[in-house]
Amino acid sequence: MGEKIGKNTPRIAVFIDAANLWSSYKSMEKMLELKKLASFLAKKFNADIFRIFYYVAYPKEGTREKDKIVRLHKFLFFLEKGLKFVVIKKPLKTILLRNKDGNVIIDEETKEPQTVEKGNLDVEIAMDVMKFSTAFEIGIFFTGDSDFLPLISHLRNLKSSKKVYIFSTKDCVSEELKNGGDGYFDLSDCPEIHQCKLLNEEDRKKQLTQNV
């Protein structure tokens, strides 16, 4: 995958938290040109790409308009087959909202239980990081979630320590994570991988990546 720099160069593993990346899209009002990502990172870090992992939760059939769900799955298929990303996906779960006493909250208008969709893939990311930790020297995380700080600290403190870099935006990254790796890069300052057009309201409606 990506540009081959040389057999003795370090290898990069990229872990993309799709939900957090979508938050960055909204913050920048731009999206990334993911087909440029591998060559961009290989050049920036003078390294070869081991794999790019993309973690996403998707809506179940019947919870969205059918054409929107079809578009999402076509996009994920393109990442897998076209760009050779490793896509890890799971359906969103519907969670009942409860008050502090543990009782289900009922919507006053519909008289139906209030719900929220959840699709956290933090465990899947952590498992893949550890599973493939011997296969890369540089770990790159597209996320701003401070929950990953212990994992990143672990990678940096291994006997064969890893360099770890964070890519996010100022409105979506925690200070702990921003300062917890070997470097932080704001996606707003990476025009090489920006899509040309701005993210408009129609783009927002079409996107199905969840900010959960």
Predicted structure pTM score: 0.82
Burial of 24 (0-12, 13-18, 19+ CB in 10 A): buried
Closest listed residue to residue 94, CA positions, set 122, 115, 121, 120: 115
Can you give the pLDDT at residue 118? 67
pLDDT confidence of residue 2: 47
| 7: CB partners within 8 A, 6+ apart | none
Largest CA distance in the chain: 64
Mean pLDDT, residues 142-166 taken together: 95
> To 10 degrees, what angle do helices 122-131 and 149-156 make?
10
**Which pLDDT score, from 0 to 100, does residue 96 have?**
62
